[in-house]
Amino acid sequence: MSETTEVIKELLESINLPAEYRTNSLELLEKGESRYVRDLKVNFSSTLTSDHLSAKEIGLIGASIAVNNHNKPLLSFFTNFAESNGATAEEIAEAAACASLLASNNIFYRFRHFTQKEKYTQIPARIRMQIMMKPVTGKEFFELMSLAISAVNGCEMCVNAHEDSLIKLGTTEERIFDAVRIASLITATGKLIF
Protein backbone atom coordinates (compact mmCIF):
# COMPACT_ATOMS: atom_id res chain seq x y z
CA MET A 1 0.00 0.00 0.00
CA SER A 2 1.38 3.42 -0.95
CA GLU A 3 1.91 6.17 1.61
CA THR A 4 -0.80 8.25 -0.11
CA THR A 5 -3.29 5.39 0.13
CA GLU A 6 -2.40 4.91 3.80
CA VAL A 7 -2.99 8.60 4.58
CA ILE A 8 -6.32 8.56 2.71
CA LYS A 9 -7.33 5.49 4.72
CA GLU A 10 -6.42 7.26 7.99
CA LEU A 11 -8.38 10.37 6.96
CA LEU A 12 -11.44 8.32 6.02
CA GLU A 13 -11.31 6.39 9.28
CA SER A 14 -11.18 9.68 11.23
CA ILE A 15 -14.41 10.73 9.44
CA ASN A 16 -15.98 7.31 10.18
CA LEU A 17 -15.96 6.28 6.53
CA PRO A 18 -14.85 2.86 5.28
CA ALA A 19 -11.19 2.62 4.20
CA GLU A 20 -12.25 1.72 0.64
CA TYR A 21 -14.52 4.80 0.26
CA ARG A 22 -13.46 6.87 -2.73
CA THR A 23 -14.71 9.82 -4.72
CA ASN A 24 -13.37 10.60 -8.18
CA SER A 25 -11.40 13.44 -6.63
CA LEU A 26 -9.77 11.21 -4.01
CA GLU A 27 -8.92 8.70 -6.73
CA LEU A 28 -7.09 11.43 -8.66
CA LEU A 29 -5.01 12.32 -5.59
CA GLU A 30 -4.32 8.66 -4.88
CA LYS A 31 -3.34 7.84 -8.46
CA GLY A 32 -1.02 10.86 -8.58
CA GLU A 33 0.53 10.04 -5.19
CA SER A 34 -0.33 13.61 -4.14
CA ARG A 35 1.43 14.91 -1.05
CA TYR A 36 -1.63 17.11 -0.47
CA VAL A 37 -3.50 14.26 1.21
CA ARG A 38 -1.23 14.64 4.24
CA ASP A 39 -2.13 18.36 4.44
CA LEU A 40 -5.80 17.48 4.03
CA LYS A 41 -5.63 14.98 6.91
CA VAL A 42 -3.81 17.42 9.21
CA ASN A 43 -6.13 20.28 8.27
CA PHE A 44 -9.26 18.20 8.89
CA SER A 45 -7.89 17.09 12.26
CA SER A 46 -7.33 20.72 13.19
CA THR A 47 -11.05 21.44 12.71
CA LEU A 48 -11.77 19.33 15.79
CA THR A 49 -9.89 21.49 18.29
CA SER A 50 -9.92 25.15 19.20
CA ASP A 51 -8.74 27.33 22.05
CA HIS A 52 -11.78 29.57 21.51
CA LEU A 53 -14.67 27.22 20.68
CA SER A 54 -16.02 24.28 22.64
CA ALA A 55 -16.19 20.83 21.03
CA LYS A 56 -19.98 21.17 20.91
CA GLU A 57 -19.68 24.50 19.10
CA ILE A 58 -17.19 23.00 16.63
CA GLY A 59 -19.68 20.19 15.94
CA LEU A 60 -22.53 22.63 15.39
CA ILE A 61 -20.48 24.85 13.09
CA GLY A 62 -19.35 21.74 11.23
CA ALA A 63 -22.94 20.54 10.84
CA SER A 64 -24.10 23.94 9.59
CA ILE A 65 -21.27 24.13 7.04
CA ALA A 66 -21.95 20.55 5.90
CA VAL A 67 -25.65 21.39 5.38
CA ASN A 68 -24.67 24.56 3.54
CA ASN A 69 -22.30 22.58 1.31
CA HIS A 70 -24.68 19.63 0.74
CA ASN A 71 -22.11 17.23 2.19
CA LYS A 72 -23.73 14.09 3.57
CA PRO A 73 -20.62 12.33 4.97
CA LEU A 74 -19.42 15.44 6.79
CA LEU A 75 -22.94 16.21 8.03
CA SER A 76 -23.12 12.74 9.54
CA PHE A 77 -19.68 13.12 11.10
CA PHE A 78 -20.27 16.58 12.59
CA THR A 79 -23.78 15.76 13.78
CA ASN A 80 -22.37 12.78 15.68
CA PHE A 81 -19.46 14.91 16.93
CA ALA A 82 -21.86 17.60 18.18
CA GLU A 83 -24.13 15.03 19.86
CA SER A 84 -21.21 13.29 21.56
CA ASN A 85 -20.17 16.67 22.95
CA GLY A 86 -23.57 17.55 24.41
CA ALA A 87 -25.52 19.15 21.54
CA THR A 88 -29.26 18.60 21.67
CA ALA A 89 -31.49 17.69 18.74
CA GLU A 90 -32.88 21.25 18.86
CA GLU A 91 -29.40 22.77 18.61
CA ILE A 92 -28.45 20.54 15.68
CA ALA A 93 -31.74 21.39 13.95
CA GLU A 94 -30.94 25.07 14.46
CA ALA A 95 -27.52 24.59 12.82
CA ALA A 96 -29.32 23.16 9.77
CA ALA A 97 -31.91 25.95 9.85
CA CYS A 98 -29.15 28.57 10.06
CA ALA A 99 -27.56 27.18 6.88
CA SER A 100 -30.89 27.36 5.06
CA LEU A 101 -31.70 30.88 6.23
CA LEU A 102 -28.24 32.17 5.40
CA ALA A 103 -28.45 30.68 1.91
CA SER A 104 -31.31 33.05 1.15
CA ASN A 105 -29.81 35.99 3.05
CA ASN A 106 -26.41 35.64 1.42
CA ILE A 107 -27.89 35.63 -2.08
CA PHE A 108 -30.26 38.50 -1.33
CA TYR A 109 -27.75 40.77 0.39
CA ARG A 110 -24.99 39.98 -2.13
CA PHE A 111 -27.42 41.13 -4.82
CA ARG A 112 -28.09 44.37 -2.96
CA HIS A 113 -24.38 44.90 -2.41
CA PHE A 114 -23.39 44.08 -6.01
CA THR A 115 -25.97 46.36 -7.62
CA GLN A 116 -25.37 49.25 -5.21
CA LYS A 117 -28.76 50.71 -6.15
CA GLU A 118 -30.56 52.65 -3.45
CA LYS A 119 -33.93 51.47 -4.78
CA TYR A 120 -33.19 47.85 -3.81
CA THR A 121 -32.41 48.85 -0.23
CA GLN A 122 -35.82 50.54 0.03
CA ILE A 123 -37.87 47.51 -1.06
CA PRO A 124 -38.71 45.19 1.88
CA ALA A 125 -36.78 41.90 1.78
CA ARG A 126 -39.84 39.83 2.78
CA ILE A 127 -37.57 37.09 4.16
CA ARG A 128 -38.87 35.68 7.42
CA MET A 129 -36.08 35.39 10.02
CA GLN A 130 -37.82 34.70 13.32
CA ILE A 131 -35.24 32.08 14.23
CA MET A 132 -32.68 34.87 14.64
CA MET A 133 -34.75 36.54 17.36
CA LYS A 134 -34.48 33.80 20.03
CA PRO A 135 -32.13 31.07 18.84
CA VAL A 136 -31.83 27.98 21.06
CA THR A 137 -28.04 28.15 20.66
CA GLY A 138 -28.04 31.75 21.91
CA LYS A 139 -27.73 35.02 20.00
CA GLU A 140 -23.93 35.11 20.04
CA PHE A 141 -23.44 31.58 18.74
CA PHE A 142 -26.15 31.92 16.09
CA GLU A 143 -24.36 35.04 14.84
CA LEU A 144 -21.09 33.09 14.82
CA MET A 145 -22.60 30.29 12.70
CA SER A 146 -24.15 32.93 10.44
CA LEU A 147 -20.77 34.60 9.98
CA ALA A 148 -19.04 31.29 9.16
CA ILE A 149 -21.69 30.38 6.58
CA SER A 150 -21.60 33.90 5.10
CA ALA A 151 -17.82 33.66 4.74
CA VAL A 152 -18.15 30.32 2.92
CA ASN A 153 -20.87 31.78 0.67
CA GLY A 154 -18.86 34.92 -0.07
CA CYS A 155 -21.31 37.57 1.09
CA GLU A 156 -19.18 40.57 2.06
CA MET A 157 -22.12 42.59 3.38
CA CYS A 158 -23.28 39.67 5.57
CA VAL A 159 -19.77 38.92 6.86
CA ASN A 160 -19.31 42.55 7.89
CA ALA A 161 -22.76 42.75 9.51
CA HIS A 162 -22.33 39.51 11.51
CA GLU A 163 -18.77 40.36 12.53
CA ASP A 164 -19.94 43.79 13.76
CA SER A 165 -22.79 42.18 15.73
CA LEU A 166 -20.40 39.67 17.29
CA ILE A 167 -17.93 42.36 18.36
CA LYS A 168 -20.81 44.34 19.92
CA LEU A 169 -21.86 41.16 21.77
CA GLY A 170 -18.36 40.90 23.23
CA THR A 171 -17.03 38.08 21.06
CA THR A 172 -13.27 38.01 20.68
CA GLU A 173 -11.67 38.29 17.27
CA GLU A 174 -9.85 35.02 17.98
CA ARG A 175 -13.19 33.22 18.41
CA ILE A 176 -14.48 34.72 15.16
CA PHE A 177 -11.27 33.83 13.35
CA ASP A 178 -11.40 30.21 14.56
CA ALA A 179 -15.01 29.77 13.43
CA VAL A 180 -14.12 30.96 9.93
CA ARG A 181 -10.91 28.90 9.88
CA ILE A 182 -12.85 25.77 10.77
CA ALA A 183 -15.54 26.54 8.18
CA SER A 184 -12.89 26.99 5.49
CA LEU A 185 -11.18 23.68 6.28
CA ILE A 186 -14.47 21.77 6.39
CA THR A 187 -15.29 23.24 2.99
CA ALA A 188 -11.87 22.20 1.65
CA THR A 189 -12.34 18.63 2.95
CA GLY A 190 -15.78 18.55 1.35
CA LYS A 191 -14.31 19.22 -2.09
CA LEU A 192 -12.76 15.74 -1.97
CA ILE A 193 -15.07 13.80 0.36
CA PHE A 194 -18.75 14.07 -0.51
Q: Which residue among the candidates 87, 158, 185, 193 is catalytic per the annotation?
A: 158
| Known catalytic residue at 98 | no
d(CA 10, CA 41): 8
> Catalytic residue among 11, 60, 155, 180, which?
155
Neighbours of 118 (CB within 10 A): 7
- Residue 7 CA: distances (Å) to CA of 24, 26, 87, 192: 17, 11, 30, 14
- Residue numbers annotated as active site: 155, 158
